[in-house]
Amino acid sequence: MANEKQVRRATKHFDVIIRPIITEKTMALMQAQNKVTVEVLKTATKEEIKDAFEAVFEVKVDNVNVINVRRDVTRRGTRYPGHTRGYKKAIVTVAEGEAIDLFKE
């Protein structure tokens, strides 16, 4: 039973982190304070995000902050209401002296 749980958790590491969020603000945070901003699964907890980061990028994580970004109501013209999708965002503080290269080729 424990082996199944460990295997499921190991494959889940790659499923927790969806994509990096690249903006001027997140790049400034990355350079100044060694913080990486990523989109994660809505059901992911701080511990799961920390474990996934340490397993995938092989760095030590100091802190994880989580933000739920709400969906916005939009319109296409005047007739077609809709909304953008909401998502969960994590700001991960990497230990001092370690770095993550998001732009590897």
User: What is the predicted pLDDT for the residue at 83?
Assistant: 92
* Rounded Cα gap, residues 105 and 86, in angstroms: 30
How far, in Å, CA of 36 to CA of 28, rounded?
Answer: 10
- CA 72 vs CA 3, 12, 23, 28: distances in Å: 42, 29, 19, 26
**Helix (H), strand (E) at residue 24:** helix 24-33
pTM for this entry: 0.81
- Average pLDDT of the residues in 78-92: 93
* Token pair 């077609």 in the structure block, residue: 80
Q: Name which CATH class applies to 2-94.
A: alpha beta
pLDDT over threshold 60, residue 96:
yes
* Residue at 2: amino acid letter: A
| Whether pLDDT at 8 is above 80 | no
Q: What is the mean pLDDT of residues 14-36?
A: 93
Q: Sheet containing 61-69: which strands, arranged edge to edge?
A: 17-20, 35-40, 87-94, 61-69
Task: Give the pLDDT confidence score for residue 3 in this predicted structure.
Answer: 57
